[in-house]
Amino acid sequence: MSAFEPGLEFVFELQVAVADPIRVGRSASEDLNVTPITGGTITGPRLSGRVLPVGADWWVTRGATTQLDARYVIEAADGAAIDVVNRGYWHADEDIERRLLEGEDIGEDELYYRTAFVFQTGAEQHRWLTEGQFVGYARPEPGHVCIRVFRLR
């Protein structure tokens, strides 16, 4: 039996506009923050539209690793509403963190900023989103989180 190699199909890119995070806090070993989602765009070969200004990303930092839990709504170009749950992880070494703070553009290949999506919608034309596993490769940009979204084949 041969080993199966999974593949990825690029479906769209999200440019999610975000407000400044709200620090909630927790304990000496972890820190909870909430980042409001204020809008954004969706462009790509399988989906285009906009990110609605509703939802947020709840993120907890433990040491050098941040666990992400975002929930928001996107509107496809045809007007269909799609619920998004996006969970993942972020970690970067001290040099990458320093470069980010200095305003340098950091690519997806230089830090671990990966997410997994679950979509819900009643729109038949977007049912394909509810029937597959999707992963995201993210990068921060000023005022935005950009995520290239792929369907796992």
Q: Is the pLDDT of residue 1 over 80?
A: no
What share of the chain in percent tops pLDDT 70?
A: 99
46 assigned to some structural domain: yes
Q: Distance between CA atoms of 113 and 19, rounded to whole angstroms?
A: 19
Mean pLDDT value across the chain: 93
Query: Are the beta carbons of 104 and 85 closer than 8 angstroms?
Result: no
Helix (H, G, I), strand (E, B) or coil at 2: coil
Say what the pLDDT of residue 43 is: 98
Residue 61 lies in a domain: yes
- 10: its two tokens: 């690029």
Give the count of domains, the chain.
Answer: 1
Res 135: pLDDT: 98
Lowest mean pLDDT across 24-28, 68-72, 123-127: 24-28
Q: The tokens of 21 are what?
A: 């995070």
How far is 151 from 153, CA to CA, in rounded Å?
A: 6
Query: Looking at the domain assignment, is residue 27 inside a domain?
Result: yes
Does a structural domain hold residue 3?
Answer: no
Confidence (pTM): 0.90
Cα angle: 55, vertex 70, 134; to 5 degrees: 120
Q: 44: domain range?
A: 8-152
Q: What is the pLDDT of residues 29-64, one digit of tens each?
A: 889 999 999 999 999 999 999 999 999 999 999 888
Contacts of 115 (CB under 8 A, 6+ apart): 68, 70, 86, 87, 88, 89, 135, 136, 138, 147
Nearest residue to 151 (alpha-carbon basis) of 52, 25, 33, 7: 7
At 112 the three-state DSSP class reads strand
Here the CATH number for the domain that contains residue 82 is: 2.40.160.20
| Exposure string for 7-18, b = 16+ CB within 10 A, e = fewer | eeeebbbbbbbb
**142 residue type, one letter:** P
In a domain, 84, yes or no: yes
